[in-house]
Chains A and B, each alone.
Chain A
Amino acid sequence: MKQQLRYALDDILSHKLNHFILFVQVLAALLLLSFIFYIVLDTNSYKNKLNEIMQDQEEEIYLANNISSMEKVDEILLGGQDSMKRQGDLYEFIKQNPSFKTYTADMQHAMWLSESNLDDSFVMLRYVPNAYFLLKIDQKFNSVFKLKCVKGRMFSADDFKDTGSKIPILLGYDFQKYYDLDDTLRDDEEHSYRVIGFLEKSSFYLDPGKGDIIFWLDKGFVVPVQPNRFDFTEEYESAISSTFIITDDTNYLQAIQQKSNELELYTFEYKSFTEQLQYILEANHFKVMIIGFMMAAILIFGIIGLISNLVQFITTHTKEFAIHLLCGGQVKSIIQRILIQTFLMILIADIIVIIINKFSLDTLFTIMSSLLIGLIVIIYPVIMLSKTEIKNILRRSQ
């Protein structure tokens, strides 16, 4: 086997350019294939998580898209105290309405810690140091997402009121090696936070309006929405846009829009989670089709190239094989040599895929597919060789 590996390496090196072109084709096809697996698995995982959330709800969940013009939004945001009051009225109207349920989950802000010794994996964006993932939730949020603490406690009703003391804060599971319960954190606006709990591992949040992303909270901060602490008009705009309506009666959505019109505020477009999920699935399906087409084209050329390369190798090296057989080799060892040639190329491509994508389920599927591709490639050359008897190879080589 070791000797056949040497011969196979020698074969590859003696046709470097040919093998390099085939290798690039195989690598490109595998990278595209891994991307397809990633999209499919990711969409599937997202769909399952969303269904998990939705199956506990008796009614549909609607998200609000603020489709007001930029000028209108600027006018409201620069509207001072009057605008603050009108927005407060709209928020109250939505939140206190007995006709439907709601929850607020606002992730339009980041946590800007004044000082931190957290490692880089916690940073939200690599080029913005000290900015961390922040989710602001209201009291009703947990009736949908059912977050639990592994240590400490969840928010109580009092935590959603500004008492002038430190703001209670929940930290993701991974923060445990950096903070303890009751530790104090400060942001760059001089707000103080008291750690009241650590969330269970793999706690998550979903917002279908932001695409098929599962927001894992292991490295995130969760704080309560405290409307009486709002200092800026932007905070109301953000809270209103991040409030989800749970109802089966779309008339209530119209009532919200009507109230907003009366208060000369925003124009909303409501989309149900079901609609949004459908949109995400269709978008991903289209993406898979496009990438799949490219991948198939490259793969077909790659497979044909590899097969013809091997067949050509066998026919042009018949004399060499005959000499090896004469000296004690078997057809089996020549087949081994061809297998090594093919799978060595696939193995290197697989290693590059693992380096790029890290080891995950989609990488595992890609590796399994690459083995299947390898088998497809070698099947004809192997049959061709195994049907050949040594005396025939010797006769053909003369």
Chain B
Amino acid sequence: MSIINITNLHKTYSSGESEVKALRGLSLSVDKGNMIAIMGPSGSGKSTLLNIIGCIDRPTGGDYFLYDRLINTFNDGEMAELRNQKFGFVVQDFALVERYSVYKNVMIPLSYSKKPIKSKKDKIENILSQLGILEKKNAMALNLSMGQRQRVAIARSIVNDPDIILGDEPTGTLDSDTGEEIMNIFKKLNENGKTIILVTHDKNVASYCQQIVRIKDGRVIK
């Protein structure tokens, strides 16, 4: 069952008089529970596609259906709610607030959630424990190792129990051992039913995925 259906997607960035066509009629379907890698050279439109899928950006043409709902017409509030409820984001630079503790970083999605949660504290501690960083709960993000930071980012991405996890070069700044550990976490999450979409240059990362989508010049080539 496809949860993401993209057809003939276009995205054009305007800067003064010049225009950059990042996506040119891209079509893509993602099934529930799938783990896919989006690969392609720099400037091919991978990150733009991920931003549109994650409701960070809007297409300039084409249709994007998420759970059969046309996202193009959603307003800012609805897009924010989707980012909060349906997606978890893991990015290359971890996107952690360095002056916050681990606990407070993981708390961010819950602070915007409208879902009633019995005990936020228990939920966060449970996830930190699963990811092996519970003892770092009160440590400042600034004082963590790279691997620990990415685990915190993963904890934050799953704390609201989203269906889809989007990763933009999630192992890009990690050494190979740590990168492998992180990929095993993604694999485990996928086994537990999460849909994972990763943008990567790394063939090793792509090898963990069930499907590889290659993009060039804003179109899917394979």
- A interface list, Cβ under 8 A from B: 3, 6-7, 14, 319-320, 322-333, 390-391, 394, 398
Contact = CB atoms under 8 A, between A and B. Distances in A.
Given A322-B95, A331-B76, A394 B84 contact: no
A7 B112 CA distance: 12
B80 interface: yes
B31 interface: no
Contact of A330 (B76, B93, B156): B76
Contact of B56 (A6, A14, A319, A391): A391
Contacts of B93: 398
Contacts of A326: 56, 83, 89, 95
Given A327-B108, A329-B112, 8 more contacts: A319-B97, A322-B95, A323-B95, A323-B97, A323-B108, A328-B85, A391-B51, A391-B56
A372 B188 CA distance: 55
A386 B5 CA distance: 31
A203 B118 CA distance: 63
Contacts of B160: 328
A86 B149 CA distance: 100
The A interface, classified by DSSP as helix, strand, loop or mixed, is: helix
Nearest to B54: A326
17 contacts: A14-B99, A320-B97, A322-B95, A323-B97, A324-B112, A325-B56, A327-B108, A327-B109, A328-B80, A328-B81, A328-B85, A328-B109, A328-B160, A332-B76, A332-B77, A390-B57, A398-B93
A126 to B, nearest CB: 51
Contacts of A390: 56-57
Interface string B175-204: 000000000000000000000000000000
Contacts of B89: 326-327
B113 interface: yes
Contacts of A6: 111
Interface string B63-105: 0000000000000110011011100010001011101000000
A328 B113 contact: yes
A329 B57 contact: no
B84 A328 contact: yes
A333 B112 contact: yes
Q: Which 4 A-B pairs have the closest CB atoms?
A: A328-B84, A328-B112, A3-B111, A327-B109
A331 B75 CA distance: 13
Contacts of B76: 330-332
A327 B56 contact: no
Q: For A3, A323, A330, A333, which residue has the most chain B Cβ atoms within 10 angstroms?
A: A323
B89 to A, nearest CB: 5
A397 to B, nearest CB: 8
B101 to A, nearest CB: 11
A55 B165 CA distance: 82
Q: For A320, A327, A391, which residue has the most chain B Cβ atoms within 10 angstroms?
A: A327
A260 B97 CA distance: 87
Contacts of A320: 97
B166 to A, nearest CB: 10
Q: For A7, A326, A329, which residue has the most chain B Cβ atoms within 10 angstroms?
A: A326
A6 B108 CA distance: 12
Nearest to A324: B108
Given A390-B56, A394-B56, A323 B77 contact: no
Interface string B149-164: 0000000100010000
B97 A327 contact: no
Contacts of B80: 325, 328-330
Q: For B93, B112, B160, which residue has the most chain A Cβ atoms within 10 angstroms?
A: B112
A391 B83 CA distance: 13
A386 to B, nearest CB: 11
A333 B108 CA distance: 13
A327 B96 contact: no
A305 to B, nearest CB: 23
Given A3-B111, A391-B51, A391-B57, A327 B83 contact: yes
Nearest to B85: A328
Nearest to A397: B95
A320 B76 CA distance: 19
Q: For B51, B95, B96, which residue has the most chain A Cβ atoms within 10 angstroms?
A: B95
Nearest to B156: A327
